[in-house]
Amino acid sequence: MRVLVSGGGTGGHIYPAVSLVKHIKEKHPEAEFLYVGTNRGLESKIVPKEGIPFKTIQIQGFRRSLSFENVKTAYLFMKSISDSKKIIRDFKPDVVMGTGGYVCAAVVYAAYKEGIPTLIHEQNSVPGVTNKFLAKYVNKVAICFPDAAQYFPSNKIELTGNPRGQEVAKIEKSAILEDYGLKSDLPTVLIFGGSQGALSLTNALIEGLAELSKREYQVLCATGERYFEQVQSAMTAAGISSPNLVVRPYIDNMELVLKNIDLVVSRAGATTIAEITALGLPSLLIPSPNVTNDHQTKNAMSLVSIGAAELLKDSELSGLSLVRELDAIMLNDQRRESMAEASLAEGIPDATDRLLAVVEEII
């Protein structure tokens, strides 16, 4: 089996592809892989580290307003299709899968023109421009949220879930929290705003530091590199030092930490949703207001509607509201357990197996 995957720009597009590649390697050790991305996207850092062969094409997104840059974009898109065809002819894949981002538009479309079986994987409840464009050309559309089905041809839809969820579900509990100076036997909240952090969440955290330092439950916060010094300075200025409150710029073993906590506070990206439902974690979700079609709010509502999560609007986020919501969940064991059960019920524990089945079906 020869598998070509493409997706880029954000981790939400990259990690599902990487998870699928790992799973296929386990099931089909003889399989060969190629990942096509850009040299500027996050994929250029993540994919090579995973030991997956990686090639690049040059492409960029269209501006939403009238701009001369769109002329260049159109030229690059046509050129990237031609470049993708050359890569495809050299690699000779049995199947090509796109997971989102502008780069996979050219790659998957080129595969379609070359007569190669294709599929796309849509992680969000509302699809992006790329997957909407590709839906008419691919053999199958794999989705993670039932709500996404309305945007695609019904005869092509397969509800698979997100492969990242199945990957983290295999992890065993450990004493990883002790590596961060926390106790393994105390209820713990993890707060993070993504790999780059989130300004509004950082401001709320700073406002709530004094109160959070007094709580009996533990708080581990990943601020992102850009906001770490700001939070550290605020703690120092206020004389805040508590063994139950730990701040780090980044958590590089996130999946291990997630397995050992009791509540997640985060944005509502598709990968995060997949991870927390696979692990059966309660969550306080603060959707980013800076995403296309407000899809994070729709992602979050899929959990809020079944009692697995609470939603706090970014516009209503403050130190007071953050601490209030945390107390309401962390100081009520019964509520937290109920949310955990609902979260686990919403997860798709065999997501990677389902996606692999779709791949094998269209080859």
11 is in an annotated binding site: yes
224 is in an annotated binding site: no
* 329/172 Cα distance (integer angstroms): 24
Pairing of strands 245-248, 263-266: unpaired
251 is in an annotated binding site: yes
10 is in an annotated binding site: yes
Region of 307 please: left (phi>0), alpha (psi -120 to 50) or beta: left
* 248/238 Cα distance (integer angstroms): 18
For tokens 């379609």, the residue is 112
98 is in an annotated binding site: no
* 147/166 Cα distance (integer angstroms): 21
* 297/253 Cα distance (integer angstroms): 26
Q: Where are the beta strands (DSSP E) in the chain?
A: 2-6, 32-37, 54-56, 95-98, 118-122, 140-143, 157-159, 188-192, 218-222, 245-248, 263-266, 283-285, 309-311
296 is in an annotated binding site: yes
Longest CA–CA separation in the chain, Å: 65
Contact criterion met (CB below 8 Å) for 157 and 149: yes
Residues 6+ apart with CB under 8 A from 225: 196, 197, 249, 250
12 is in an annotated binding site: yes
Q: Could you tell me which residues are annotated as the binding site for UDP-N-acetyl-alpha-D-glucosamine?
A: 10-12, 124, 195, 251, 296
Q: Could you tell me which residues are annotated as the binding site?
A: 10-12, 124, 195, 251, 296
